[in-house]
């Protein structure tokens, strides 16, 4: 069964600090992995998309890494801001005909001043 697990479930950090969120998956065959940011009461916004051959992808202060061998991904946030407070969701797409998406439960990040 395809699964995506994220850790930690929740995280509190001080403004200006860095943090790293983890995503482990068992989806096979693998097509791509996305990280989304979802503000409370809003729809998710795509941060990065990575395919099998990509190890690192950045989007501003967000840097995602992918290790397809160990089936792990991380999202690193540099110099956090209060506006980074949100849920971060890891979504993995399989490479079957239906391109099914498997969602992680998300990491709820709170950045405090």
Which of residues 60 and 98 has its CB atom nearest to another protein in the complex? 98
- From residue 71, give the alpha-carbon distance in Å to each of 87, 92, 100: 21, 10, 17
- Determine, following the binding rule CB under 8 A, whether residue 31 of this chain makes contact with another protein: yes
Near another protein in 39-98, by CB under 8 A: 42-46, 49, 51, 89, 91, 93, 98
Which of residues 2 and 63 has its CB atom nearest to another protein in the complex? 2
How many residues in the shown chain lie near another protein by CB under 8 A?
Answer: 21
- Determine, following the binding rule CB under 8 A, whether residue 22 of this chain makes contact with another protein: no
- According to DSSP, the β-strands at 10-14 and 107-112 are parallel
- According to DSSP, the β-strands at 72-77 and 19-25 are antiparallel
Distance separating alpha carbons of residues 49 and 35, to the nearest angstrom:
7
Q: Which of these ranges, 19-27, 38-46, 59-67, 72-80, lies near another protein under the rule CB under 8 A?
A: 38-46
Which of residues 1 and 14 has its CB atom nearest to another protein in the complex? 1
- Cβ atoms of residues 66 and 50 within 8 Å: yes
N- to C-terminal Cα separation, the chain: 41
Query: Which residues lie near another protein (CB under 8 A)?
Result: 31-32, 42-46, 49, 51, 89, 91, 93, 98-106
């Amino acid at each position: 069964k395809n699964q995506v697990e994220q850790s930690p479930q929740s995280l509190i950090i001080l403004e200006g600090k860095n943090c790293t969120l983890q995503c482990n998956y068992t989806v096979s065959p693998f097509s791509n992995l996305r990280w989304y940011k979802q503000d409370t009461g809003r729809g998710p916004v795509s941060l990065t998309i990575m395919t099998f051959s990509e190890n690192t992808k950045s989007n501003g202060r967000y840097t995602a890494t992918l290790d397809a061998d160990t089936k792990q991904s991380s999202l690193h946030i540099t110099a956090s801001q209060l506006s980074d407070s949100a849920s971060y969701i890891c979504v993995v797409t399989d490479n079957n005909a239906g391109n099914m998406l498997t969602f992680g439960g998300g990491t709820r990040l709170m950045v405090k001043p």
